[in-house]
Each structure stands twice: as structure tokens, then as C-alpha cells.
Amino acid sequence: MKKSLRKTDPEIYELIEAEAQRRRVGLEMIPSENHTSPAVLEVLGSILTDKYSEGYPGKRYYAGNEFIDKVENLARERAKKAFGVPHANVQPYSGSPANFAVYLATMKPGDVVMGQDLPDGGHLTHGWKFNISGTLYERAPYHVTKEGIIDFEEVRVLAKEKKPKLIWCGATAYPREFPFEEFAKIADEVGAYFAADIAHIAGLVIAGAHKSPVPYADIITTTTHKTLRGPRGALIMVTQKGLDKDPELAEKIDKAVFPFGVQGGPHNHQTAAIAVALKEAMTPEFKEYGKQVVKNAKALGESLKEQGLRLVSGGTDNHMLLADLTPFGKGTGVFAQDALDAAGITVNKNTIPKDPSSPFYPSGIRLGTPAITTRGMKEKEMKIIGKWIAEIIQEVKHCQLPETKEERIVSLKQFKKDIAGNKRLKEIKGQVAELCSRFPLPY
Ligand code: DSN
């Protein structure tokens, strides 16, 4: 007999309810987050989670995979169709193992990898010095200019000098369109594989709201839970260009995911949910959604600028904005993040180009529109939200980051106490909740 979670584990039930309530009355504006559909959630909670199926469709190490094979094949076919590629691996547990599989498929330890440096908006797995990608392989990071645009002069010089085996284009904090074509030219010139990591923008690519890397990249990786609006998970795709460069590339990628790489049994509930999300992403409604995400980000940017905030690169081409808070003092991102959180607006502190502070106490915040667009908000709401954000930042602008670690701990503790009692933040929190009540969550 079925028993509800509420009865079997009320503690976990209550925590899920509390989290749902936090989301109902708040604005989720971390650009890598979204609200999935009820169909995706239903599949994630399905019995598919119970099955072991190491291997690939038709070539499994365990019996009983007749239906799992069909699920995985559907997911693969939908990924191929949605992006227009000849090969897709749908098994990576998430973005980091997907990217590691790309290294295993294309590089030997000691080979050179080029990627956007982490403090410049790049990803940990693109060769950061404290990640395996920057220790097992020789890192040759490129940077952004002080205006926040990829420094192509540097990319060119570095590629010719270092002769990388792999070049990444893609980032976690880059509000401008990615120049895939230029990267492809350089990669071809120096004989490198070119991998586009489109984790942040995959949904925009399918919706036609961002240029596709398919004609230019050899390999494309993406997570499936950001603008794509699916479950946590990832895809690795090989393009026709990649297959022309290396006819064995698809096979190398599959082997690098399993059995050579870091994965074991695929998460079949996740694979099925990816298939559902991809089906949703190929609808006309999703196209509209992707375009609205970008329109909303632009409108939010304009609103923030009208209120006097400085944006890295002056604005956005995608779903994301990076606010430069150095005019309020270095390392003040944490104060802005926590004050916004207290008012029901969730963003994350983030480094800005040439950040005068550190990644743990950066001088910016990163904001995005994927989740609030899923709720149906449009330009009109972005204008209001922009005003709230700017006002909240003004409210805490007197807060400065102390120099020593000990002083910082004391100061942040006091800051949290102060904002919990701040009258204006409480008022805005009420207004945020009222706005949210008119835009219900999809689940
Ligand atoms: N953590 C993700 C993000 O927020 O962009 C990247 O892995």
C-alpha cells in the first residue's frame, strides 16, 4: 500500500514544503536556476530510478533493460533533433563529469587546455588551477578585457604559443553572445579540438535566442537544468564538424563517459526527464519563452542602469547580468546578496572582471531571468524588480568589508542581524511576495 511522504518522513516533507513556500513568495534570480515542469518532476520521481543499466542501448551489462533502452534512445534522438547534431550522449550525471569526459576523450595528461579563467567568468572545469582540469592538464587560461569582453587578441597569441589540444568557449558569468565562429577558426588553425560549453544558454540556443555553436564546434556540452529547464543532468554532443575532424570522436566520448570515466550506472529517471524537457523545448511555446528570457534580461538591465547601477559590459545579450558593485566598495557582493535574500530576491555574489577582491568576497552580483520568466513575468515586472534591487543595494551601501578574516566574520554576523530587522527590506519582501502571488510556480 502506498504511504505518503508526509506520513513516512514528516521531517523531509516539511523541509520540502518550506522550500516550496520560499520559492512561492520569492524571486529566484540565480541565472543557472529555473523551475521545471510538473511532467519533468513526475518522471524524476518515477520507478526508473531503481534500474541498473551500465552500458548503452543494446549493449548493457545487466538484463531487464528493454524499456530503459527505449527511454535512452528517445532522449538521444530528441537531443540530436533539438540541437541538430549527429551524436548525443545523454548519460552524464551533470556538467562537471560531462566536461571531464571531454578531457578523457581528447587529451593526455600534460596536454594544454585553454578556457576562460574562473575569475573572468569561466568555469571551474575549463582549466581552473584548483580543479583536476587545471592540474592533470596544463592550463593556458584566457581572460576578458576590463570592459568584460573576451580578449581575442590574447586568445590568438596564447593558442599559437601554447598549441592547446582543447579550447573551451563557454562560461558561468558572461553576459554577452559567445563568438563561436572566431574560436573555431583559431582551433582549426592550431589543430585543437573546439568544445562549446553551452550549459547556461542551451535553452536559448534551442529557442533561437542565441547563436548555435553547431556549425563551429567539434564537441558541445551542456547541463540540462538551466535555461533548458529540465532535470539536473548533462549532454555531450558531437557535431558533423567534429566527426569530420575525427571520425572516432563519438565513440571516444561514449567510452570516456562509461566505462573509462567517472560514471557507473546511468540515472535512468534523469535520462527520461531530460527526454521530456527536450520535447518541451521543441515546442513553439518554448521558443517564445527563450526569447522572453532575453527580452526580460535586457529590460532588467535598463532598469538597473536607470537606477545608477553599473553593469559589466554595459548590459546583456543573454539571460544574465553582472552588476559591478565596486563604486560601493571592494568585496561588497556578499552584502548585496544577503540583503536581497532578506527581501525575497535570490541572486549570487560573483567576481567581476579584474575584481579587486577575492572569489569568496567578490565585488559583484550575478542575476538572471530564466526562472522568473518561467513564472510568466515580462518587461513591466522587470522594471519594478530592477528598482527594488537598486534600492536594496543603496540601503546597505554603507557596509564595507573589513580587511582581516576575523573582522569579516564578526562584521557579517552583525550585518545579518541588522538586515533581519531592517524595516524597508521587510516592506520590499512583502511587495515581492505580492508580485509572486500573481505569477504562480508551474508546480
Ligand atoms: N554552478 C553553475 C552556475 O551557477 O553557473 C555552474 O556550474
**Percent over 70 (pLDDT), the chain:** 100
What does the pLDDT average to over 324-335? Answer: 96
pLDDT in tens, 238-283: 999 999 999 999 999 999 999 999 999 999 999 999 999 999 999 9
Arithmetic mean of pLDDT, 58-81:
98
DSSP-derived secondary structure letter, 235: E
Which one-letter DSSP state was computed for residue 199? T
Is residue 172 within 6 Å of ligand 1 at its C-beta?
Answer: yes
> Identity (one letter) of the amino acid at 421?
G
305 CA to middle of ligand 1, Å? 25
222 by DSSP, 3-state: which? strand
Q: What are phi and psi of 59, to 5 degrees?
A: -135, 70
What pTM was computed for the model?
Answer: 0.97
Residue keyed to cell 520507478: 47
Ligand 1 lined by 350 (C-beta under 6 Å): no
* Position 1 pLDDT exceeds 80: no
Q: How confident is the model at residue 359 (pLDDT cuts 50, 70, 90)?
A: confident
Cα radius of gyration rounded to whole Å, the chain: 22
417 pLDDT higher than 60: yes
Establish whether 212 is an annotated binding residue. Answer: no
Establish whether 37 is an annotated binding residue.
no
Taking alpha carbons only, the member of 171, 225, 227 closest to residue 195 is: 171
Q: Domains for the chain: give ranges and CATH numbers.
A: 43-281 (3.40.640.10), 284-437 (3.90.1150.10)
Nearest residue by C-alpha to atom 1 in ligand 1: 32
Catalytic residues: 52, 54, 197, 223, 226, 232
Banded model confidence at residue 18, pLDDT cuts 50, 70, 90: very high
Q: Rounded mean pLDDT of 426-438?
A: 98
* Cα 87 from Cα 254, distance rounded (Å): 10
- 348 DSSP β-pair partners: 366
Q: What is the pLDDT of residue 29?
A: 98
Cβ atoms of 421 and 395 closer than 8 Å: no
Q: Would you state the cell numbers that stand for residue 259, as one nine-digit string? A: 566505462
Q: How far is the CA of 55 from the centre of ligand 1 (A)?
A: 28
Q: Which of 35, 13, 37 is nearest to 436 (CA)?
A: 35
- The contacts found for 61-70 with CB under 8 angstroms, 24 or more apart, are 68/268
Calculate mean pLDDT across residues 10-24.
Answer: 97
Determine the average pLDDT of the residues in 273-302. Answer: 98
Residue with CA at minimum distance from ligand 1 atom 4: 32
Cα of 124 vs centre of ligand 1, distance in Å, is 9
Percentage of the chain lying above the pLDDT 90 cut: 98
Q: What is the mean pLDDT of residues 371-399?
A: 97
- Whose alpha carbon is nearest atom 6 of ligand 1? 172
3-state secondary structure of 206: helix
Q: What would the pLDDT profile of 87-132 be if each residue is shown by its tens digit? A: 999 999 999 999 999 999 999 999 999 999 999 999 999 999 999 9
pLDDT at 189 over 80: yes
Which residue do the cell numbers 511587495 mark?
Answer: 431
The candidate with the shortest Cα–Cα distance to 342, out of 403, 305, 304, 393, is 393
- The DSSP string of 298-360 is HHHHHHHHHTT-EEGGGS-SSSEEEEE-GGG-TT-HHHHHHHHHHTTEE-EEE--TT-SS-SS
